[in-house]
Amino acid sequence: MAANGLEPPESEPDLHGLRVLVVEDSADVATAVKNLLRSLGADVLGPVATTDAAMRLTAETNPDVALVDVNLRGGELAYDLIDRLHALRVHIVVMSGNDEVPEAMGKAAAVLEKPVSEAKLFASLRAVTVAKP
């Protein structure tokens, strides 16, 4: 067992060339996810804490996948963002403190309940990279 209490995944995904948008209002979570993704070779956009900031980044560089927290800064919900990203054919992985996010169903490749384990995040990203056109 790793020092952080998580079981290490069987194998870490190679994320080189994958553009990942991180939409998360918790600075600690956002920084940890960004650092983890970069260590695996991903090109990380953000992190950002609002829908507007996410859409500005998306207009500049179209991400392959977006990791999206449902509850954002100032009580903003990310369902409109999820709809817009889905319309742009961006793969979406929802990270939420609530395991029931019905508005994201059918649009998200995965819904991960916080705290998110590295193994589950890796599995979701592995599935997305396999589905990547």
Going along the chain from its start, the domains and CATH numbers come out as 19-131 (3.40.50.2300)
- pTM of the prediction? 0.85
pLDDT at position 7 is: 42
Q: Specify the pLDDT at position 99.
A: 61
Q: What is the pLDDT of residue 10?
A: 54
pLDDT tens per residue, range 46-88: 999 999 999 999 999 999 999 999 989 898 999 999 999 999 9
Q: Above pLDDT 70, what percent of the chain?
A: 81
Torsion 110-126-27-73 (CA) sign: negative
Cβ distance 21 to 54 under 8 Å?
A: yes
The neighbouring-strand residues paired with 19 are 43
* Residue 91 one-letter amino acid: H
Q: How far apart are CA 81 and CA 107, in angstroms?
A: 11
Question: Residues 76-119: pLDDT tens digits?
Answer: 999 999 999 999 999 999 988 776 666 566 888 888 888 888 88
Structure tokens at 39: 């260590």
Helix, strand or coil for residue 8?
coil
Decide if pLDDT at 35 tops 50: yes
What DSSP line would sit under 78-116, residue for residue? Answer: SHHHHHHHHHTT-EEEEEESSS--GGGTTT-SEEEESSP
CA distance 19 to 17: 6
